[in-house]
Structure 1
């Protein structure tokens, strides 16, 4: 009875146990029948880079410098006479432009003009006294001296004295003080001219120290003017670049924000090196384009024409490693090559050897690469994706 009851209690547990055992056996059987998939070998990573094909040609070196435009002929105006300042033909104010020959300022000349007319009167009086004597003693010379007397007046400059070859006539004229009176008149005429300040060139007034009505004395400063016909730029050039400049070729000048360019010529090259910057000043004469003014103090960029390199190639600075090496792509892998450098420029380098024409040269900065690494030109990869 007890055995029968125990058997009755075990029957509900037997079925789940059998199902569990059967499931485990089936799992092992199925696992033994499954085949392992083949393991994939990872493909090597190929670096895509910017490249260019090596090609040698005749190149012109580039030399770039910067400088400020100034007048090559600033002039300080100083009074050589005394008097009261009067207005000229243009307002005497800073920034005012003027043309060659215009009157910039006048200085009261009434006293000098009266002294000049008085001296002319003395000369005419002496000529009037000597003419009758010349008519008697030197009749062949009389018409010339009579004509000269008729040409003299108080409103025009004194004409030059007739030439005298006869020593006796010269002595005769000296006795009547003709030469002394003549040169006294010429001296006052020159002094009268100094009462007008004339513009010696086309230019502009840089500073004005006096105004109309201001009394001035001999030696007083009146102002400063600059010559706009004679402008130049002083460009400091590194000593290493001086030898690369072709001095007979034009220089192209430009200013940031202005569309115009100006042609310049190298006028002279300094003979002293700035000890702080190790540069040599190069002075460039500038010609303004018609219809466009150049301003004093304008900051300009100067592009010099350099010497030619007969067999060279210009590559970007970032293509150079350790100042003398480049990367090539050889049979799909990076190769390290030493190159021959002819010149280093601001953003580029001119090479003349070390790589062969037709080689594929890497032109971008590479980081974390070594020679032998797989690489492809980026342009080739783009073309293949587009097919």
Structure 2
């Protein structure tokens, strides 16, 4: 065997082998493709229960006094202590004397004026007894009731023109109203508490000299407290003021009840909100500090036929998924109201629908699904 034959013969054998392999493979038939069956997706769901749904408005605000007062002096003089120490955070009761302005000169002027009135009456009484016997007893009692340590009694009623002329001649009317004026001035020296409350701020302390128009301090009522909250103007139409408001604090487990006292008529141009005031019912409730931050759950109107679902179950603000015949089905719904974590659907769902209540990703209508029903059906 020559050298060329040794080279060509192995190549021929390899070629024949490759050709035989190709023919053999071509004679084999491909196996049929395996059919892919998608696995059903397990989804959280519940059965729809259409029923009346009471709406709720959540807002936040601070406790404020319904009766904040600033105390201004209308007279001049030295400030003197009352029945309670005039200092910040000092509590007081209705009728307590908070402070007074030195009233010695005012009392002297009042008593001097009373003395002039008594002198005029002493000169007029003999003529009243002689000429107007039927009025004598009333005017005698009035004279006896004019005491330097008590307020002036009311003038006896007089219908007789002649008696009025007599009283005017002795300046009885002029002196009477002069005394009343001095009594009013004396009252301005005394600051009595109009309610149970607390001293919020003190601008002048005992021993200081007050002038007319001086701000002495400010007080707040603890009898009537309110929570001032701001609401979007769009929420006003939902408020049901016939039901109580529930107030809660994030710092304590306590709660309070109240009622909608009034709603502002002005919209804040920056925030487009309206102020609403909730009067706190304090009967048997724990005390509230002025300025405490509270959450207010304000009752809203009831929607007659609706269902509450999680916000996460709604797609594009208008559609949800149902499970129909073990497949996902998309349907459009009408949302009557959006709340903090939920939405109230008023149309688009029927009683008994299997509604998907979890947020789904990467799914399409028609996909197989197996619902895992919640135990709290229709009431999330």
Distance in 1, Cα, partners of 2:145 & 2:332: 88
| Residue 309 of structure 1 pairs with residue 285 of structure 2 | no
Q: Within the alignment, does 1:282 sit opposite 2:281 as a pair?
A: no
Structure 1 residue 338 and structure 2 residue 355: aligned?
no
CA RMSD of aligned residues (A): 2.1
Which residue does the alignment assign to 2:109? 115
Report the Cα distance in structure 2 between the residues aligned to 1:153 and 1:241, rounded to whole angstroms: 61
- 2:294 corresponds to which residue? 300
Return 69-78 or 233-242, whichever deviates more. 233-242
Map 1:166-315 → 2, pairs under 5 A: 166-290=160-284, 292-315=286-309
Count, aligned residues: 344
CA distance in 2, matches of 1:49, 1:170: 96
When normalised by structure 1's length, the TM-score is 0.83
CA apart distance, 1:198: 0.8
What SS does structure 2 have at the residue aligned with 1:158? coil
Secondary structure in structure 1 of the residue aligned to 2:134: coil
Q: 1:126 to 1:361 in 2, by over 3 A?
A: same
Counterpart Cα distance in 1 of 2:169 and 2:373? 102
Q: What is the Cα deviation at residue 40 of structure 1?
A: 8.0
Report the CA distance shift for 1:275/1:136 in structure 2 as closer, same or farther (over 3 A): closer
C-alpha deviation, 1:336, in angstroms: 1.3
- Mapped pair 1:351 → 2:345: yes
**Distance between the aligned counterparts of 1:141 and 1:356, measured in 2?**
87
Alignment partners' CA distance in 2, 1:377 and 1:171: 100
Q: For the residues of structure 1 that align with 2:345 and 2:119, how far apart are their CA atoms?
A: 87
Alignment of structure 1 residues 156-175 onto 2, 5 Å: 156-175=150-169
Pair 217,41 (structure 1): closer, same or farther in 2 beyond 3 Å? same
Deviation at 1:235, TM superposition (A): 1.8
Unaligned runs of 5+ in 1: 1-37, 381-387
Equivalent residue for 2:99?
Answer: 105
Distance verdict in 2 for CA 1:124–1:309, change over 3 Å: same
CA–CA distance in structure 2, aligned partners of residues 158 and 107 of structure 1 = 22
Question: Does the residue aligned with 1:284 lie in a helix, a strand or coil?
Answer: strand
User: Mind listing any 5+ residue stretches in structure 2 that lack a counterpart?
Assistant: 1-31, 375-380
Q: Is the 1:206–1:226 contact (alpha carbons within 8 Å) kept by the matching residues of 2?
A: yes
Please give the alpha-carbon distance, in whole angstroms, between the structure 1 residues aligned to 2:328 and 2:128.
Answer: 107
Paired position in structure 1 for 2:14:
none
Moved more, 224-233 or 106-115: 224-233
Q: Is the 8 A contact 1:262 1:289 kept in 2?
A: no
Structure 2 CA distance, aligned partners of 1:271 and 1:157? 44
1:327 and 2:355 are equivalent in the alignment: no
Mark the CA change 1:141 to 1:271 in structure 2 (over 3 Å): closer, same or farther. closer
